[in-house]
Amino acid sequence: MSTISPTADALHGDGHDAHAHHHEPSFIQKYVFSTDHKMIGIQFLITTMLMLLVGGALALGVRWQLAFRWEAMPFFGQFFGAEGGQISPEFYTMLFTMHATVMIFFVIIPVLAGAFGNFLIPLMIGAEDMAFPTLNMLSYWFMWPAFIAIGASFFVEGGAAKAGWTSYPPLALTDLNGQTLWLIGITFVGVSSMMGSINYMTTIIQMRAPGMTMFRLPLTIWAMFITAILQAFALPVLTAAGFMQLMDRTIGTGFFIPDGWTANNAAMASGGGQPLLWQHLFWFYSHPAVYIMILPAMGMVSDIIACFSRKPLFGYKPMVYSIAGIAGLGFIVWGHHMFISGMNPWLGMTFMVSTMMIALPSAIKVFNWMGTVWGGNIRFTTAMLFALSFVSMFIIGGLSGVFMAATPVDIFIHDTYFIVAHFHYVLFSGTAMAVFGAIYFWYPKMFGRMMDERWGKVHFFLTFLFLNGTFFTMHILGVVGFPRRLADPYHYATFHHLRPMNVFMTWCAIGMVATQVIFAANFILSLFFGPKAGRNPWHANGLEWQAPSPPGHGNFDFQPVVYRGPYEYGSPEVDTDYYPQNQPPPEPKHADQPASTPAPQPA
Amino acid sequence: MKRFWCLFFMFWPLLALYVCWIAPEQGWWFPGTGPATKNYVGPQGGSAMSPLGQRIDDLFYMILIVTTATFIFTQIGLGYVLWTGAKRTDPGNKTRAWFSHGSHNLEVIWSIVPAGILLYIALYQMDVWAEFRMRPFFPNQQINSVLGKVGVNAEATPGATQALAEVTARQFEWRIRYPGFDADGNLLPLFAVPHPTDLYTVNDLHLPSGAPVMINLRSDDVQHSFFLPELRVKQDAVPGLVIPVWFHATESDTYTLLCAELCGWGHYKMKARFVAEPAEDWVEWMHELQEEQNFDGLIDEEEVVDSN
């Protein structure tokens, strides 16, 4: 780590001068094959935002069909509908499969771990960069083969994968080449995540600034750390399962093919496998992956709420333990995706109990967030609004989970829109809203300028309304038994009367996508015209706010030394209502009162 | 503006509660009577057409009450802390935020209370699940008594099953195998393997109503799911497995049977009907089915003349 003394110049400059010994990187080194964690984070952020657009367009296709079945879809239809812009049943199955694939593997996981993990971890722990900068660069560039494989799969014979994002064999085995490309793509995403995960764990364990003990880490870092552990343990299982399916498809093995199996009226040569094996392997990864998709969001929300309540986080240690609890329990609940799959019903009961129990740490977190707001001096910034809506919406997503954890109720609501409502409340109203909040919050640090608050609030207001219009109604559809993944649910008289509701939801979804134009405009225009942000525009405590905005190569223009936790807002020790982690404590008034010394640097 | 945001966060849960409150009368609720019923105008907050389904509904309502109470409590709590927090930033108000790192007692309370509630829900539902899915807890006596009622003695016949039909899902239809009649016109039990006397239908499941009946669920190709929304029955069909499923239609009616697990492009049209009828009618229907199936295509000349 470079040792640079904080000079008055460096503290107020833009930070570039302080690193004269770093040779000036070329354009390609700086913006394309960059090893700087901040640039990699921004690359991930921009890429995932573009992928969000793709995923959103696919979602609109799904919504269009559910509201106006078999009618020609305007605009998008000409690009990817069947002849005349209609959505065919094959195309519909492809739409929801790819919507989920793009949103999960190309948006949510990379935006949390890739964009914010990369950008924030070294800054928040007071490090110069990641432990393995080249590995970090590779973790971004390994996403590209995945983008290419999945992107190309739209154009191969038979189109992209059509077996659902869960890719249950034997259905997935009957698919054409799209499924092979899907498996290859997912493998690359997995390799990319694995590189990130190793890097984050090493960085957080090894590279913390002097005085930054584990229990002085911001919750964002704790969440990223535990997420990295989750990924490291769960991903190999998915990768192995993916290869097994790939071999079943290509070289004639029979891991997932039962004896005497026929498809398209032709018997398969191999057999002796178990279709349920895939479901176990897949969900052994994908259930922890659900927490990979929410824990970092929870961490970031905790930071935002504490900052804008001007008050310490309520119950820091219970918050850390509950993240760890969610992660630990997350490994023994995968069977709740399989209650009616034909899995041994005795197992269903054990998974039911563990699933009920995982609601507990989530409940503790919600109460602690409310405790954090309680008694605060609340600043209703855009980031705060998004973070608060995360708490409010996460309650809905959590409570609806109790219904499906109850095995008998799950018999009815499984594979209905109730499930779709539940995970959209967690993933969109939860994670996506937290990510929006995090962008508004850390944008000044990323780009050195502020985003427009007024348009940010308009963006929040409209997104919030439209998302509830789209997703809350899904609970009601689910209670009627409206099944998911049906190209034409109105084929059944039982669901005829739900048509108007679906039309309403589709208009809300269109509104929600349109609202993001405001966000995109705000994001892009603020890059050039936003007011310049100082080092610490929100008066926050974290180390990242002590670095220049945007931080130069090497991050800090001084050696950060940490004296306290990240949430000492409103401390009586100082006159300001914030107390940066690296600000030395005031001189003791009496000689017998010892000055607090920084904890020893971790070995 | 900050008061507006406080109200905004309160407005939304109220709207959600209102929508749920009016949902049943709008037909946005559990499916009840089958769509073939004369006065059918969409589900009117219906109750399940099977006893076990009613227990599922009851469980749903129990969880709904608990979660609604939690929802109201937490949303009001959030609104309250926001409102008081907004007050503290009014111009002239110099109060600093409450410098608190948490409360051990509160943590203990809000860990133990939800844990207790969750454990209660977990234990409370176990017997419904056991009865629905676990073989030893099936209502075996009642299932056998229906068999006796239609004149089947499954226990005495080797290779026979307790089921009255074998439902095989395949892309994209339901094939149903019923037991046939012996030479004397007595109903045979359903054998585990197909038998020459067996009767077949496609997308048309008929079974006795008023008592628990069992089917064997199979799949020919990919995963499917046997879903009877009005009866709250759902079970995946897995290639390579034979899964026993029992249900009890309380009323004779025609119900929807659909596939609930993605099975390919034609998943949406895997539509069938389940006709529940009194046991005597069912046996009669089976006789008709047999006649139809054994029909050799030769028509009496008289009949042809008649129809002309």
Average pLDDT of the residues of chain A: 89
Comparing CA positions, the residue from B224, B246, B94, B265 lying closest to residue B162 is B246
Cβ contact A201:A228 at 8 Å: yes
| CATH number assigned to the domain with residue range B140-295, chosen from the 4 options 3.40.190.10, 2.60.40.420, 3.30.160.100, 3.30.9.100 | 2.60.40.420
Using a CB-CB distance cutoff of 8 angstroms, which residues of chain A are in contact with residue B97?
A: 309-311, 375-377, 569-570, 577
Amino acid at A565: G
What number of other Cβ atoms are within 10 A of residue A432's Cβ?
A: 22
Fold of A40-258+273-546: Cytochrome C Oxidase; Chain A (1.20.210)
Q: Compute the nearest-CA separation of A354 from chain B (Å).
A: 9
Cβ distance of B267 and A485 shorter than 8 Å: yes
Q: Do A174 and B53 touch (CB under 8 A)?
A: no
- Alpha-carbon distance of B70 to B63, in angstroms, equals 10
- Of A271, A281, A414, A343, the C-alpha closest to B243 is A343
Supply angle C-alpha B58, B60, B65, rounded to 5: 95
pLDDT at B37: 55
Tell me the C-alpha distance between B142 and B144, whole Å.
5
pLDDT for the residue numbered A245: 93
User: How far is the C-alpha of A596 from the C-alpha of B16, rounded, in Å?
Assistant: 51
Instruction: Determine, for residues B85 and A378 on separate chains, whether the beta-carbon distance falls below 8 Å.
Output: yes
Give the type of residue at A9. Answer: D
Structure tokens belonging to residue B21:
């409150």
On the 0-12 / 13-18 / 19+ scale of CB atoms within 10 A, A74 is exposed
CB contact at 8 A, B30 and B47: yes
Cβ of A402 within 8 Å of Cβ of B118? The answer is: yes
A-chain residues near B20 (CB < 8 A): 476
Q: How many CB pairs under 8 A join A and B?
A: 320
Q: What share of chain B is helix, strand, coil (3-state, %, to 5)?
A: 45, 20, 35
Residues on chain A touching B71 (C-beta within 8 angstroms): 395-396, 399
Question: Are A312 and B99 inside 8 Å of each other by CB?
Answer: yes
Residues 464-493 on A with a CB inside 8 Å of B are: 464, 468, 472-473, 476-477, 479-481, 483, 485-489, 491-493
Query: CA-to-CA distance for A501 and A513, rounded, in angstroms?
Result: 19
pLDDT at site A353 = 93
Who contacts A391 (Cβ-Cβ below 8 Å, separation ≥6)?
A: A301, A305, A366, A369, A370, B78
Q: Which residues of chain A have pLDDT under 70?
A: 1-23, 79-83, 263-269, 588-603
Q: Is B231 helix (H, G, I), strand (E, B) or coil?
A: helix
A interface test, pick of B268, B271, B273 with most A CB neighbours within 10 Å? B268
> Which are the contacts of B228, defined by CB distance < 8 A and separation ≥ 6?
B234, B247, B255, B256, B257, B274
Q: Tens of pLDDT along chain B (308 residues)?
A: 888 999 988 888 888 889 888 887 777 888 876 655 554 544 455 788 899 999 999 999 999 999 999 999 999 999 999 999 988 888 888 778 889 898 999 999 999 999 999 999 999 999 899 988 888 889 988 988 888 888 887 777 888 888 999 999 998 999 999 999 988 888 899 999 998 899 999 999 999 999 999 999 999 889 999 999 999 999 999 998 999 999 999 989 899 999 999 999 999 999 999 999 999 999 999 999 999 988 887 776 666 555 55
Task: Considering only CA atoms, give the Rg of chain A.
Answer: 25
Query: pTM for the whole thing?
Result: 0.91
Nearest to A363 among B9, B110, B233 (CB): B110
Determine contact, residues A151/A579, Cβ cutoff 8 Å. Answer: no
CB B99 to CB A572 under 8 A?
Answer: yes
Distance CA A71, CA A84 (A): 9
- Tokens 């689910």 correspond to A478
Closest by CA to B283, choosing from B167, B180, B168, B177, is B180
* Residue A482 contacts residue A498 (beta carbons within 8 Å): yes
Q: Going by C-beta distance under 8 Å and a sequence separation of 6 or more, which residues neighbour residue A373?
A: A305, A309, A311, A388, B78, B81, B82, B85
- Residue A22 pLDDT: 56
Q: Which residues of B touch A163 (CB under 8 A)?
A: 262
A318 Cβ neighbours under 8 A, 6+ residues apart: A364, A368, B102, B107, B111
Query: Least CB-CB distance to A493: which of B28, B35, B56?
Result: B35
SS3 B274: strand
Which CA distances in Å does B53 have to A91, A231, A274, A345, B131?
Answer: 35, 39, 31, 18, 12
Do residue B265 and residue A368 have CB atoms under 8 angstroms apart? Answer: no
Give the C-alpha separation, A196 to A117, whole Å.
Answer: 9
Which of A93, A342, A491 has the CB atom closest to B243's CB atom?
A: A342
pLDDT one-digit tens code per residue, A518-530: 999 999 999 999 9
Name residue B176's beta-bridge partners: B167, B201
Give the number of C-alpha atoms closer than 13 A to the C-alpha of residue A136, restricted to the C-beta side: 30
- Sequence-separated (6 or more) residues with CB below 8 Å from residue B184: none
Q: In chain A, what residues touch B35 (CB-CB under 8 Å)?
A: 492-494
Give the pLDDT of residue A262: 72
Q: Give this complex's ipTM.
A: 0.92
The tokens describing A84, both together, are 């005349």
